Structure formats: structure tokens, C-alpha cells
Structure 1
Amino acid sequence: MAGHGAQKLFGIFGGMGLTGTGKGFDALGYHPGKVYAVICGLSEFLGGLGLALGLFTPLAAAAVIGVMINAMVTVTAAHGLWAPEGLEYNMSIASVALAIAAIGPGRLSLDRPFRWGKGGWREAGVALGLGGAAAAVVLAI
């Protein structure tokens, strides 16, 4: 996920950068596109890094879940569940983020000393609730 965010934010790894990604977001109905490209790029980049490092894990999972919900609603839902561009990939990413929040980020995580570093139902609920609420706000706007 951090790589996807870096594509949007910095134009690396074959990405289009903010200008190109912003045009894509405009075409999807997100106006102004460049602002939403920044929001999406930061959510993917920071959410991906947070999950990889085990840093603020429930918030990182929420960022990833929120982006995946938006992707499912605006892009992949029209392609069905199993089509090459279907929902299953986005659902898998969101599920993994939720699972990491639920089971905890692991022994080597930066969250290890904190309560949320051990995972649990509360952490999973925070990740799913915040991610879903953020996605709903973005979709409503």
C-alpha cells in the first residue's frame, strides 16, 4: 500500500504523480481531483508504512480500509466480484488490514509497548469504524 501511495504522491514506481492522479480522480467524480489524490496518496502511503512498521496500527488499518472501500464503490464494484478488475482484490487488502488490527502488529512492531500494540476486538472495531466513517464522508462529499 505504501508503494501505491508513493505512485500517487511522488510519481515513482511507474505512478502518475499528483497531477496525473488528480486527473484520474476528477474523471471518477472526485472534485477537486488533486486534493483527493493527496488524501488517497497519504492514506495509502502512511497506512501502508504504519502497517509494515506496526506503528499506530489501528489508525493505519483504518486508512487502508477507507481507501479500499472507496475503491470498491467507485471503481471495482461495476466489474463484479471475480472479474480481473473485480472487488476481490480490494476486499482482500481491507480484510488483511482489519486482521492486522485484530491480531496485533507482531513482536517487532513499534506499537509493542502500547495497549493497541497487542490487537483485539476494540482495535479492529476502531479500524473498521474509522475506515468506514472516513469512506462514507468522502463518498458523500
Structure 2
Amino acid sequence: MSSFDFAVLVLRASLGGIMAAHGYHKIFLGGRLSGNAAWFERLGMRPGAFHVRVAAGTEILAGAALALGLFTSLAAAAFVALMLVAAWTVHRRNGFYIMSSGWEYTFVLAVTAVCIAVLGAGEFSVDHWIFGSTPFDGWTGLVVAVAVGAVGGIGQLVVFYRPAKAEAA
């Protein structure tokens, strides 16, 4: 095993596992689906019950796919879309730094996923076992992860994001 393949494996497994756990949390822990649906409604992602299921399912599937190195560039695109929506709906008003619940962490997760798409999944991945390499790695991986992710995230915001209007004083 090369140091490159080991490093990519650790990055994929860590980032994918974190994202899958985040989706699991939305369903089974904390506020569960009903509490998170109400939170999504308050954020402006309507209908909340639909969006919490889409978000949790995407986090679990994209996280598992990235961890396994399965369709790595598309999994990275899902990360970009998820983090774009999260940054815009939850963190944008709080500035950059995570200490203020800003968008710093969502940015780091999205950039890391894109870098994995560029590097490829490595030798110890389902992509390698099936295809002999990562489909769409290198510059193509960059374009797939960023373009597909941006279209998905922006599309979701354009179609579904309806924040409540600020009340007049």
C-alpha cells in the first residue's frame, strides 16, 4: 500500500463516516425526523418533512459512498450540494468562523470532498476494484464535483428555499 493510497483511504473513510453519522443523527438522535423537520421549516426549507428526509438520506448515502470509494466524484458532488445548502440556510448569517456557527466548517468539508474527487479514490476503493481506477478523477473529477454539486445545491435553494419574512417592528 502506498502512502498516497493510505492517505486517500483515511480521508475518504473519515469524511464519509462523519457525513453518514450526521445523516443518522437527523433520523434517530436529537430531535429525530419530526424535530428536524420543524427546524428545516424554520430555516425556510419547505416542506421540512421532505427536506429532512432528503438531507438525511443524501448524507448517509453520499457518506457511505465516499467512505467506500464508490462513484467518488458523484459522492463528492453530493457533499458540495449539501454543504452549499447548509452554508446558505444555516451558517451564512453568522459569518465565517465556526465558533459563531459560521460557514467555515461547511466550506472545509466541501473542499475536502472536492480534493478527494480530484485525487481519486485510491487503490483501496470500490471504484478501483470495479473500474480499475476512479471514474472522473483529476480535472474531470474537479468539474464533476463542483459543477454537479453547485447545480444540485443552487437548484434546491431556488426551488425550495422560502425563508420567513422578517417581522416589522
TM-score, length-scaled by structure 1: 0.91
Structure scoring higher RCO (CA < 8 A, sep ≥ 6) equals 2
Structure 2 residues without counterparts, runs of 5 or longer:
1-18, 160-169
Paired amino acid for 2:96:
L
SS for the counterpart of 1:111 is helix
Match of 2:148 in 1: 130
Structure 1 residues without counterparts, runs of 5 or longer:
none
Q: How high is the sequence identity, in percent, across the aligned residues?
A: 37
Structure whose CA Rg is larger: 2
Task: Choose the corresponding residue for 2:138, options 86, 106, 120.
Answer: 120
CA–CA distance in 2 between the matches of 1:63 and 1:43?
Answer: 7
Match of 1:86 in 2: 102
SS for the counterpart of 1:55 is coil
CA contact (8 A) 2:120 2:137 kept: yes
Report how far residue 118 of structure 1 moved. Answer: 7.2
Task: Choose the corresponding residue for 1:110, options 120, 126, 139.
Answer: 126
1:56 aligns with 2:71: yes
Report how far residue 59 of structure 1 moved. Answer: 1.1
SS for the counterpart of 1:31 is coil
CA–CA distance in 2 between the matches of 1:96 and 1:83?
Answer: 16
Task: Choose the corresponding residue for 1:76, options 86, 91, 94.
Answer: 91
Paired amino acid for 2:111:
S
* Matched positions, count: 138
CA contact (8 A) 2:80 2:113 kept: yes
Match runs of 1:4-19 below 5 Å: 4-9=22-27, 11=28, 14-19=29-34
TM-score, length-scaled by structure 2: 0.77
* Deviation digits for residues 9-41 of structure 1 (CA, Å, limit 9, x no counterpart): 3x1xx3322211111101111111010011111
What CA RMSD, in Å, does the superposition of the two structures yield over aligned residues? 1.4
CA contact (8 A) 1:61 1:97 kept: yes
SS for the counterpart of 1:23 is helix
